Amino acid sequence: MKRTNYCGDITASLLGTKQTLCGWVNSYRNHGGVLFIDVRDRSGICQVVVEPSKPFFAEASAVRNEYVVEVTGTVNRRIEGAVNKNMKTGEIEVVAEEFKVLNTSIPLPFDVDKSLSVAEEIRLKYRYLDLRNPHMYANLLLRHRIMQAARRYLDGQGFLEVETPILTRSTPEGARDYLVPSRVHHGEFYALPQSPQMFKQTLMASGIDRYFQLARCFRDEDLRADRQPEHTQIDMEMSFVTIDDIHEVVEGLMKEIFKTAGKDISVPFPKLSYHDAMEKYGSDKPDLRYSLEMKNVNDVFKNTGFKVFKEVLAAGGAIRALRGEKGAAYSRGHLDKLTELAKKNGAKGLVWLKVKDGALEGPSAKFFTPQEMSALKEAVSALDGDIILVGSDANLHTCQTFMGALRKELVKELPRQSEWAFAWITNFPLLEYIPEEDRWDAAHNPFTAPVEEDLPNLEKDPGSVRSYQFDLVLNGNELASGSVRNCRREVQERILALMKHSKEESARRFGMLLNALEAGAPPHGGIGLGLDRITALLAGEESIREVIAFPKTAQAVCPLTDSPNVVDDIQLKELGIEISKE
């Protein structure tokens, strides 16, 4: 390789030396007959000077943006007025002695340094230009470093990286599977894994003891804004462990990953039960950078004359209140928006009370006694100039959920208590009832083990059974979901039976795992962490598409390769499939 150094590394320490650069023309200008070319590579930019006396001056003068050049020259100090203190290479320039155009470029649809403001569809179609933007390179570099840090840490903890198949069996549950027709076996299909769940549990039954993989997972979901048909999971599983063991490993992993990005986080992470998370924050992925909590004010209104609250309490429902700091200043329009938000999240209405001169004001204020108002104010520690939002519903979960949505809105105006607020959410229920189908479903994952002492109640009172399921949340995002698994076939089958899977169906869908469980499976548990989301958070990006080299649009299309696309008839014929008439 002729290159002696990356552009961004040619600093004053190399003054007087001869260097060869390779890179792209970032910009060029002729200044008083002398040509100045900024050459860019992944490391940065270096200014090249081409003097008019040079035999290659004409060739160099013909370059345009994004031409690829190779330049050899001597590192020189820039004249006083030309020094750029904001650039690593701003003190120097390379005076060209050799100059070669390695490749040309057609005129481009957008400037590389402005690519981030181009419409996303266009950015993705010309992703090779978009990725030349230093911001995008920084994102890919960060992702690379996170991946290496994760593997180095897990390797050091005795985990084995094992690759599990991409062409595997359809086990319809959760999302839809992507299917792959088999050419050799007519009428049969492989499926792409939604996660390596059954394989990693099988690896525990295989005595691997500690497994990890940066695993590609595939879900054919109805696409939402920030979902991708394929995503990457830092996937792991461990034998002979408790929940605390898993937490400890993941805390160490996150510390390592954040260190790689120059961030120091403290471990262990706080633990919060699902019950408390819902009760205090109205969410199972609360944003704990903010201390705002909602308050149970059932007692405040236990004798109320306000019909709505009275009926809610009579039905065994919930009344919850939130303090909105300085919210007394909210306009009618703002309050309507908050009410809309609550309704969109299941509320029938919303009571608001502004605190002004010690009194509570608002359309519903007239329904409350002075004692109720005073107790309400105290419950949420409201001060003059605040607003109090009070929600109620006959269904506790509904009330918590829409109040949680309001909390999320209110905290936007509050100061953060920390930059990174991690928490473990624990003690999820094992099962939840699906009334439409008159059956129980796994609250999270059908493989999660019930808490041992709740096991006798599994059939008697399925809804009361706690699980060894947990989530990791960060700044209001769910980063990971894990659990201790069922290691006995009998227990696993009882749970599948509650989910109304017949024995035959269970065997068909989960046969491999059930067979492994009865052949000496060790107690085990694990977790899968969303690499895309972790990287996006550390990169300060809203969308995971900014940290994926070649993402798909919300319509699951790749504008770069134009996939999916039609295929040749002969291919379908060989596969033994036909496209249905629409």
Which residues are annotated binding-site positions for L-aspartate?
173, 219, 444, 485
CB-count burial class (<10 Å; 0-12, 13-18, 19+) for 278: buried
What tokens were used for 563?
Answer: 């996939």
* CB closer to a second copy, 190 vs 309: 190
Q: By CB under 8 A, how many residues form the interface with a second copy?
A: 125
Contact indicator for 26, 45 with CB cutoff of 8 Å? yes
For position 57 contacting a second copy by CB under 8 A, the verdict is no
Per-residue tokens: 327 = 């919210």
Stretch that binds a second copy, among 239-247, 311-319, 377-385, 396-404 (CB under 8 A): 239-247
Looking up tokens 């950015």 gives 123
Site string for a second copy, 166-185 (x = CB under 8 A): xxxxx-x---xxxxxxxxxx
Q: What is the largest CA-CA distance in the chain?
A: 95
At 56, phi and psi to the nearest 5?
-95, 15
**Binding of a second copy at residue 190 (CB under 8 A)?**
yes
- Alpha carbon 500 to its chain centroid, in Å, reads 32
Is 385 one of the binding residues for a second copy (CB under 8 A)? Answer: no
DSSP 554: T
- Closest distance to a second copy from the beta carbon of 394 (Å): 36
Q: Which pair of structure tokens corresponds to residue 542?
A: 């809203």
In whole angstroms, how close is the CB of 1 to a second copy at the nearest point? 5
Residues with Cβ within 8 Å of 64's Cβ and at least 6 positions away in sequence, in order, are 25, 28, 104, 105, 107
C-alpha dist (Å) from residue 27 to 45, 64, 103, 512: 10, 8, 16, 60
Q: CA angle 419-425-426, nearest 5°?
A: 155
Among 135, 293, 511, 541, which residue sits at the site for a second copy (rule: CB under 8 A)? 511
Q: Among 70, 111, 276, 325, which residue sits at the site for a second copy (rule: CB under 8 A)?
A: 70
For a second copy, give the closer residue by CB, 292 or 527.
527
Which residues, 480 to 499, sit near a second copy by CB under 8 A? Answer: 487-488
Site stretch for a second copy (CB under 8 A), options 82-90, 154-162, 282-290, 297-305: 154-162
Q: Does 261 bind a second copy (CB under 8 A)?
A: no
Q: Which of 13, 53, 117, 580 binds a second copy (CB under 8 A)?
A: 580
> Does residue number 575 form part of the binding site for a second copy (CB under 8 A)?
yes
- Please name the residue ranges forming H helices in 261-345: 274-281, 307-314, 332-344
When binding is defined by CB under 8 A, the residue of 57, 137, 330, 367 that contacts a second copy is 137
Q: Which is nearer to a second copy, 357 or 568 (CB)?
A: 568
> Is residue 310 a contact residue for a second copy (CB under 8 A)?
no
Q: Which is nearer to a second copy, 317 or 523 (CB)?
A: 523
CB of 503 to a second copy, least distance (A): 16
Q: Is 446 in the site for a second copy (CB under 8 A)?
A: no
Distance from the Cα of residue 36 to its chain's centroid: 43
SS (H, E, C) 55-88: CCHHHHHCCCCCCEEEEEEEEEECCHHHCCCCCC
Restricted to residues 73-102, the positions that interact with a second copy (CB under 8 A) are: 102
CB of 67 to a second copy, least distance (A): 6
Instruction: Please list, in sequence order, all residues whose beta carbon lies within 8 angstroms of the beta carbon of residue 570, skipping any fewer than 6 positions away.
Output: none
Taking Cα atoms as reference points, which of 155, 404, 390 lies closest to residue 274? Answer: 404
Q: Which of the 8 DSSP states describes residue 555? A: T
502 lines the binding site for a second copy (CB under 8 A): no
Looking at residues 18 to 47 of the shown chain, list those that interact with a second copy (rule: CB under 8 A). 22-24, 40-42
339 binds a second copy (CB under 8 A): no
Min. distance of Cβ 253 from a second copy in angstroms?
16
b vs e for 464-482, b when ≥16 Cβ sit within 10 Å of the residue's Cβ? ebbbbbbbbbbbbeebbbb
Q: Read off φ and ψ for residue 419, nearest 5 degrees.
A: -80, -40
Nearer to a second copy, 163 or 542 (CB): 163
**Smallest separation (angstroms) from a second copy to the CB of 174:** 14
Q: Which is nearer to a second copy, 121 or 155 (CB)?
A: 155
If 0-12 CB within 10 Å is exposed, 13-18 middle and 19+ buried, where does residue 172 land? exposed
Q: Does 66 bind a second copy (CB under 8 A)?
A: yes
The yes or no reply on residue 455 touching a second copy (CB under 8 A) is no
Name the residue nearer to a second copy (CB basis): 340 or 505.
505
Which residues are documented as binding site? Answer: 173, 219-221, 228, 444, 478, 485, 530-533
- Residue 230 binds a second copy (CB under 8 A): yes
Question: To the nearest whole angstrom, how small is the minimum distance from the Cβ of residue 560 to a second copy?
Answer: 5
Q: How far is the CB of 555 from a second copy (least distance, A)?
A: 6
Angle at 513 between CA 250 and CA 505, to 5 degrees: 130
What torsion, rounded to 10 degrees, do the Cα atoms 288, 278, 352, 346 define? Answer: 120
Site for a second copy in 197-216 (CB under 8 A): 198-199, 202-203, 205-209, 216
Question: Is the Cβ of residue 193 or residue 429 nearer to a second copy in the bound state?
Answer: 193
* Shorter beta-carbon distance to a second copy: residue 79 or 519: 519
CB atoms within 10 A of CB 572: 14
- Report d(CA 545, CA 551) in Å as an integer: 6
d(CA 288, CA 474) in angstroms, rounded, equals 8
Task: Output 27 or 76, the one with its CB closest to a second copy.
Answer: 27
Task: Report the binding-site residues for ATP.
Answer: 219-221, 228, 478, 530-533
Does 264 contact a second copy by CB under 8 A? no
Distance from C-alpha of 48 to C-alpha of 92, rounded to nearest angstrom: 9
140 touching a second copy, by CB under 8 A: yes
